[in-house]
Every structure is written in C-alpha cells, then in structure tokens.
Structure 1
C-alpha cells in the first residue's frame, strides 16, 4: 500500500498536544476549533470539561500541562486584575517544569498592569518561546459577551463616553494565536491587534441597528454609575469596582488608534466591524 501522507501531515498527526486555557471562552473556543481543523491535538481546558483547568485552583495546572508542546493562556478575569502576576509566575514555572516549548499569552492593549503580568510569565517560563497578543476590545462582546443583553434590550449602557475604539474581531485574534502556537511567522513576538477603523460605542450601536433592523442606542454612564449597575445585577462590589476602573483606564483615549498587527501577522487585512455585525445578524446572535 502506498503512503502519500506528506511530511507536514505526518508531523501534525504525531505532534504533542496544545493546551488551550479557558477553552470554552470567547477566544479559547475559536483557538481550539482552528487547531483541531489543522489536525493539531487540543486540550481544551475548562472548569467542568474533560481537561480540568481552573484559574482559581493551581493544583490542576500541572496535569493539564504535562506532555503539552504549547499553551494558549487566556487569564480570567483579566491580566490587570489583582493576583494576575502571581498566577502568571506560577503558570510559567509549571509550564517550564513540564517542558512546554511555546506559550501564547492574551493580554490587554494599553493596560499598564497587564505588562507586569506579562513580565512575570516571561521570567518564570525560562527558555519557552513566548508570544504576547495585546488586543483591543472584541467586536464579539456585543454578540456573545457582556454587552449582548444591552443589544437585545435596545440600550447599550457603558462607561465609554465618546471615546473611539478599534474593535477587533475575535476570529482574527484566534488566527494570530494559532499561527504563533504552530510556530509560524510572528511566533515569539508581541502583537498589538486592532480592527481596521475606529468607532465610538454610539457608532457601533448604529452599525448593529442597521444589521439587525431594530433600534439599538448607546447610553453613556460614568464609571461609578456603571459599577453600581453591575452591583444591582449581582456582581460582587469589588469586581464591579475593578471593571469600572479598568474600562475608565482603557477608554480614556490613549487606545484610540489602529495598528497593522493583524496584517503583519497574517498578511491580510483585519475584519471590519460592519462585516462582524452582518455575520452575527445572519447567524441569529441577536434574535430575541
């Protein structure tokens, strides 16, 4: 019997697995799907899945990392949160002890505290190749994230004022992550990812309204008002305050620029918010 399998296919079949932390989340799910489509063995880590991984319980990390060749690190709740640097240092030490060769870290664009966590991981991981992906706000936050209920209710209440944001498509980010995990161009670098244009939250609401044919308007609130609103919905007071402060930091105007990060990493243009809204509407993301 002839064997026409290419060397690349054979290498993929026999490759060590890739751990995807937060494997059921907004980016982790997309990364896992893309790796699987390439024939790469995937460990999609989650608190209740087949591969147990919980950022609040370090005791299970070694089992999830043992034997893995690479790992995608999507820390919850955010790299700027208290305790994130310590978690990154611990993860890096365990990954190094397990012989993980390649790490890709999801980080926040323009988050000073996230840089501290990045440094902690880099120092603890030793000789592992580390790629850092610093991302703008995801467009998908409107369709499967914290802003979905606002869209469905017709009012996006958020402390962004009139600041513009270069919303990035989570699919573009996943493509960059997978390329780095597989050791392709861009691995071992720092990528700053945005979409192709700036939109205020009011303009984003208008784009969604056009795509859905329903009224969606943006309602600006202050940080304290937003924290109080979160608390009313049951978010713990400390977490609500952290989120309001984080958004105030990110949306003070210093991130109101676009980058060439997606194009440099993938050699193609990033997806537009208009395309995202049209696709999400077609797929029923905002059906009542």
Structure 2
C-alpha cells in the first residue's frame, strides 16, 4: 500500500492556478473536487466536459506518464470508452509532479453485489477483459500485481495476522488462509503474458443503464497473468453473473482459482490498511471476503 503522508496539499485554488497558468483556454471554468474512493489521485471536475487528475502521493507519479503513453494506443482496441488525455500538465505553483486534464466520462460506479443489470454487465466486463487480452502492442510494461501468485504470499499472510488482532472485523481467519493456500497450490500461468487493466475495482468502472460504458484508471495496466483481471467476479458481480463472466471468458479452473485468490489477497491487505481512512475501500474489501468465502462453500 502507498503511504498517504508523502504528497502535497491539493485544493481547488491550486487547481485553478495550475489550469490558468498552463491551459489558458480553460481558465475560468468552474473547479470542484470530485468525490472518489481512490487513494492515489485527487480528481477535480473542470467545467462540464473536463476532469483534472493530480497525484497525491509519489507512488502515483509514474502512472501519469504511463497513461499519457498507453491510453491513446489502447483506446482503438477496446469496446468501451477509456480516459482521453487532453492536457499534459507539468509541475508549477508549488505542486511538484506532472498532472493531466482528461475528457470527462459520464456514468456511475456500480454497486458491489447489486448491479442493476448483472448478467449484461458481466458480459460487458468479459468483452473488455477479452479485448485487453487480445492487445498486441509492443513494449508493454509489466502489470502491477501481474506476476506469480507466490510474490503475494508474505503480504497476504501478514494481513491475515493483522486481522486476527481486529476482532470486530469478524474475519474467518482459518477459512481465508485455506483459500489462500489453495491459491498457492494452483498451477501458475504458463502462457505468454497478456495485457491487463490490473485494477478492475468497482470505482474504476462506469455504468449507465446497468451497462458498462467506460473503464478508468489505467495506472496499473501492463502484461501478466490473465487471472489478474478476474477481480470483478468477486468484488462486484453476484454469483449468477459471476458464472456468466467466467463462461464468456472460458476461464480454466487453475486461472479461476488464482483469480479468486488474488482478489481475496488484495482485500485482506486493504482491510486493515484502509479500515480507518477509506470507507469505500474497506467496504469493498469486506464484500470481497464475504463473496469469496461464500463462493468456496457452495
């Protein structure tokens, strides 16, 4: 997890000064902070059609250049809208890092466990994941979380131990440990690495009328184990739609087990870290833990 105390103070006035100084054509447009459950970037609406995104922590700075490079290259290959960089901001006004202006994408994040059109959303998500896997752009970076499952073992077990000291979270420690150990026993991915979004959290998905209309935040994108893009099966979709998602992607048993374990690992690590500081992240982590344990018991 990224420490939250590294970055500069960002407020409306700073954003106005940055925009006016570097993009005069947008000076004077209304600026307002946009509520977000994310922890790496501050997001501001700029007028009706634009959004400003600024890293809050040093760990998000490399994502700015990565998105500027890869978003326009990925967009033609994908079935849903993704962010479009319209302005490449640079450090100024005491703000130390690059930042970007994007076109505003309409839609709302879906509700975990209760999307309004779960089966159709599952099909849309599968189409997006399949399209990402089919990308063949050269020079791809390694996706965040895209490596072997075993690289997550120490952090996952440390998180389980941390949760033992938080009885009010009511986590079945033996059950999550068993799921994690099953994940470690699953055969690893032996095919070529595939393109991944690698952070398909509900907050990075936008829906309209129950259908997926956009996917945002490609800071973790790159190539790796295809199991890394199965997260929505447990962090978002109810059981019936989960099966629609799996069937549409023709996921084999080993990849499914790795995907479930990876999703659980992320939730276990997030819960003790965010439970006091980020209600949205903690709430989804609890949802994932419940969904995974219910899945393995059925």
TM-score normalised by the chain length of structure 2:
0.28
TM-score normalised by the chain length of structure 1:
0.29
Higher helix fraction: Structure 1 or Structure 2? 2
